[in-house]
Amino acid sequence: MDASEAIRRFKEFVEDNYRGQLLEAVRKGAKYLVVDFGLLSKYDTELADDILDNPEESFKACEMAVKDFDLPSDIENFRIRFSNLPDSQRIMIRTIRSKDIGRLITIEGIVRQKSDVRPRVTAMRFECPACGNIIYVLQLDTQQREPTKCGCGRKGKFRVLSKEMIDAQSIVLEESPEDLEGGEQPKRLKILLKEDLVSPISDKSTNPGSKILLNGYIKEIPITLRSGGVSTTYDLLLEGNYLTSVQEDYLEVSISEEEIEQIKAIAADKKVYEKLVAAAAPAIFGYSKIKEALLMQLVGGMRKKRQDGGVTRGDMHVLLIGDPGAGKSQLLKRISRIAPKARYVSGKGASGAGLTAAVVKDEFLGGWSLEAGALVLANKGFCMIDELDKMSNEDRSAMHEALEGQTVTISKANIQATLRCETTVLAAANPKFGRFDPYEVIAKQIDLPSTLINRFDLIFPVRDIPDRDKDNRLATHILNLHKDGDAEDEEIGPKLIKKYVAYARRFAKPQLTDAALKEIKDFYVSIRNQESKDDAGLKSVPISARQLEALVRLAEASAKLRLGRKVTKKDAQRSISLLQYCLQQVGMDPDTGKIDIDRIATGITTTERSKLIVVREVINELEQSLGKTIPIEDIVKQAQEKGLSEDQVEEGIEKLKRGGDIFEPRRGFISKI
């Protein structure tokens, strides 16, 4: 199509459809107008086809058409951005071929790397020192071009008068894992973004890990060889025209007025918790307490910043430990579907660098660059980690800082960086021997380091114990699912519950009331100071200050779920009942029948520790009277006088041996190391 004809047609289209939006954009100081391509193709098919086949020339014609409108003189470089391209233009990075060069296409992918925003020259004005003639040269390539000669015959050495600059940035886009089949390696493409596409608002949507949809046209870049010549193979680059974020965090989820009314109606219902629990994972039978805790985790507590710079996290971390086939992975998958911005990783396939961050050699942008891992990419979102027990200890230790401090610090290859990691973690693991032993205490069967377990606010054992009535209901539920192919009619669908969570996280900011604080405080003080049967030796510590903070977060989340403005006494009671449910299952000391946090935090209960102290005291006393080598018989005799049985003494000696405090120089005797 002739350029003047294209300018005329596009001007008519804007006049008829976009005049109001154009004037509004100019009034706000914006330098771009987003045009719906579907509307343009209905209005003028020939012009639409021309834009798809020759985007570079067509964009210039469209921009010139807009200049013909009566716009303020200071508006320069006004751009037209085309959204909603037809499906025929959507292609995958791996299928881009030479025939696609110069065509307008749509691609979708995850941002892997991102350079800084830097000025780029688009045109330069040169002055000839001989005759004073001014020469205008457009800069279209990556290498700066100078005039070859002036009209007066002079060649070379022209003086630069001025440069026209725009902001530019290059990013590397990678195919989304869900678009790949089998063992395909995701392909990458370099993208060039300019002007308003690198504005601070757009910049947030192109952070590493964001999923974006991009319209633009493919250009070829010559590759310079080491010899100085140009290679016959070319590299590809996509020049972006329109960019939109596909994966939203809770701040970006769009909620219509009608949906806000539905959300408020659900929140006003007296059975709001029951309804939300039923909608959380209808295909999974039972586990109402766990589902309630996961809903609370989805909305989270309140993040608090103190004046001294300290921060108290609002995110709650939950750990599910249970028998195989009990539906843990199903729960994780379902929650990852209804959580705004969620990532799912599995134990064996995740390394410490893959979870936190890695320093990689950058083939596109040169030098070393930082690549964010799953926990950082899910910032202000959720990370589901399945098979936590299958990960190696080194990889698990990388999570410690991310869980409590909510940052990831990297010091490698001359890169020192601290990345934000405000991520909520939901993890699942199996017991030490694959399945729970019903006769052994649960805490002993959790094969995870106590330092990591300590960072989870709630730990739920998911046990699969035969029970005729329960098994009957479960079998009916599963078989009905197979028969109907879907869960029973959900009152609240997955889309609405996702928007409910996003709305609650964004707008519900409940304040703690004195009644709620008093309830939590009374529970904390009373449970820590319970009278035990024998106050001799060490006192057990039922819960620590870490659980106190977890109680506050749970109470705030309970208020958020019903969109309340205040955290009431009932919210505090709900949080206490959830924590007690967890502690009774995991932290019960079998000797005293009381809750003992040491059971989870260190793996040794207080009663066991006090027995160890008695054995150690006896060894110290006998060492002073008998010398270095002490007969085990004497230790047993003296410890029995202090109220310990022979088995308990032998168990204590075995633990001290394993701990490296004592050794057995010859049979029946021990010595201190």
The pLDDT of residue 445 is: 74
**pLDDT (mean) for 563-573:** 86
For 55-100, what is each residue's pLDDT tens digit? 888 888 888 888 777 766 656 678 888 888 888 888 888 888 888 8
What's the per-residue H, E or C state across 475-535? HHHHHHHHHHCCCCCCCCCHHHHHHHHHHHHHHCCCEECHHHHHHHHHHHHHHHCCCCCCC
Domain boundaries 3-84, CATH class: alpha beta
| Strands, E assignment, 85-227 | 104-114, 118-127, 134-138, 159-174, 188-194, 211-224
Say if residues 383 and 426 touch (Cβ distance below 8 Å).
yes
What are the residue boundaries of the structural domains of the chain, listed by start? 3-84, 104-245, 257-507, 606-672
Determine the CATH number of domain 257-507: 3.40.50.300
For 109-132, what is each residue's pLDDT tens digit? 888 777 777 888 888 888 888 788
Angle of helix 606-626 relative to helix 646-658, nearest 10 degrees?
90
Those residues with Cβ within 8 angstroms of residue 45's Cβ, 6 or more apart along the chain or in another chain: none
Q: How far apart are CA 363 and CA 226, in angstroms?
A: 16
Q: What is the DSSP string of 379-399?
A: TTSEEEEE-GGGS-HHHHHTH
**Residue 249 predicted with pLDDT over 60:** no
Determine the CATH number of domain 606-672: 1.10.10.10
In the DSSP assignment, the letter for residue 198 is: G
> Which of the listed ranges 9-23, 314-328, 341-355, 508-522 does the model predict with the highest average pLDDT?
508-522
Percent of the chain with pLDDT over 70: 85
**Residue 384 predicted with pLDDT over 80:** yes
Collapsed DSSP state (helix, strand, coil) of residue 192: strand
H helices present in 30-185, as ranges: 37-43, 45-53, 55-67
Other CB atoms within 10 Å distance of the CB of residue 520: 23
**Residue 587 predicted with pLDDT over 60:** no
**Residue 550 predicted with pLDDT over 80:** yes
Percent of the chain with pLDDT over 90: 0
**Residue 251 predicted with pLDDT over 60:** no
For 147-165, what is each residue's pLDDT tens digit? 888 878 777 788 888 888 8
For 8-28, what is each residue's pLDDT tens digit? 888 888 888 888 888 888 877
Residues in the chain: 673
Amino acid at 501: V
Look at 170-184, 296-310, 448-462 and tell me which has the smallest mean pLDDT. Answer: 170-184
Q: Which residue has the tokens 């295909």?
A: 283
**Residue 452 predicted with pLDDT over 80:** no
Q: Which CATH number fits domain 104-245: 3.30.830.10, 3.40.50.300, 3.30.930.10, 2.40.50.140?
A: 2.40.50.140
Token code pair at residue 211: 């999923």
Q: How far apart are CA 305 and CA 312, in angstroms?
A: 7
H helices present in 508-605, as ranges: 514-528, 545-561, 569-586, 598-601
